[in-house]
Amino acid sequence: MSTASPGKWGDLAARSLSAVIMVLFGFTAIWQGGDVFHVAVAAICGVMMWELVQMVHPDKSNLSLILGGVAAAALFVASYVPLLTATPFLIVPALAGALLLPRYKRVFALFAAAALVAGYAMVAVRDHLGLDWMIWLVLVVVATDIMGYFAGRVIGGPKFWPRISPKKTWSGTIGGWIGAAVVGWGFATISGAPMGIIWFSVLIAVASQFGDISESAIKRAVGVKDSSRLIPGHGGVLDRFDGMMGASLLVLATGLLFRFPPELV
């Protein structure tokens, strides 16, 4: 086990303060549900679209604002209709951006569409499955991130995928899985859900980490460190919600292909 040096924790204070603010904002929106949650998710996706345009084309400030606003409005409208009807609202902003941008068209279209579909999935979980399952989803993603952060900093060791994400280690990756499993166990114990939700929580953690790695790949391709500097200690909104994107997409896919919540024994 490696000894943690003070430099490893230089961003902890800023990260912690920003995290508290984000938790208060997120918990309020989740608790309120309905229109409040729809507006919050739409705003988050709008900011992510703005950041994505700024990442691939920092000179397109006006276009980034326009596409961010269009994406937020599109998701807000989509959140009130079934998925089949909502699909054009979730896809068109991404395609429009790809047509207007001179390069990185495919990367932008795929990631922008994924962000909007993930936002729709979050709304669907809160609206149709209720507060308990929404809190479970958020806690799994948060536990994956926090346990991964501390396990990676304290234990260190071999890198998970150094070419794409130089800071991520195998210890942090596995630590994230353990954190997700603990959340799944706690949720099953409190809610009476089948204990198999523990394993599904680990799958959600893997999807969350894949979302994080996907965003890291885009940042590495375009040569930026963070999606923006909106959140002290964390970077941008996209840096914080990339994991939630991956997790939400897996939940939506599970619901479409099988059922959700899954009948786990």
Q: Write out pLDDT tens, residues 138-152.
A: 999 999 988 988 888
Q: Is 136 helix (H, G, I), strand (E, B) or coil?
A: helix
In a domain, 17, yes or no: yes
- For helices 105-124 and 197-222, the axis angle rounded to 10 degrees is 150
pLDDT for 84 beyond 50 = yes
In a domain, 39, yes or no: yes
d(CA 239, CA 231): 9
In a domain, 263, yes or no: no
- In a 10 Å sphere around its CB, with 0-12 CB exposed, 13-18 middle and 19+ buried, how is residue 105 labelled? middle
Report residue 66's pLDDT band, with 50, 70 and 90 as the boundaries: very high
In this prediction, residue 124 carries a pLDDT of 94
- pLDDT of 164-186, one tens digit each? 776 778 888 999 999 999 999 99
In this prediction, residue 70 carries a pLDDT of 95
Range of the domain at 110: 6-257
Domain count, the chain: 1
Residue 161 has φ and ψ, to the nearest 5°, of -150, 75
d(CA 238, CA 243): 9
Output the six-digit token pair for 197. Answer: 């939700």
The letter for the amino acid at 195 is M
Cα distances from 124 to residues 86, 201, 251, in angstroms, run: 12, 18, 10
Flag whether the pTM goes above 0.85.
yes
pLDDT for 15 beyond 80 = no
In a domain, 162, yes or no: yes
In this prediction, residue 5 carries a pLDDT of 46
- pLDDT of 198-225, one tens digit each? 999 999 999 999 998 888 888 888 888 7
In a domain, 174, yes or no: yes
Report residue 4's pLDDT band, with 50, 70 and 90 as the boundaries: very low
In this prediction, residue 149 carries a pLDDT of 83
In a domain, 68, yes or no: yes
In this prediction, residue 134 carries a pLDDT of 95
What beta strand segments (E) does 140-203 contain? 159-161, 165-169
In a domain, 119, yes or no: yes
In a domain, 149, yes or no: yes
pLDDT for 63 beyond 80 = yes
In this prediction, residue 3 carries a pLDDT of 43
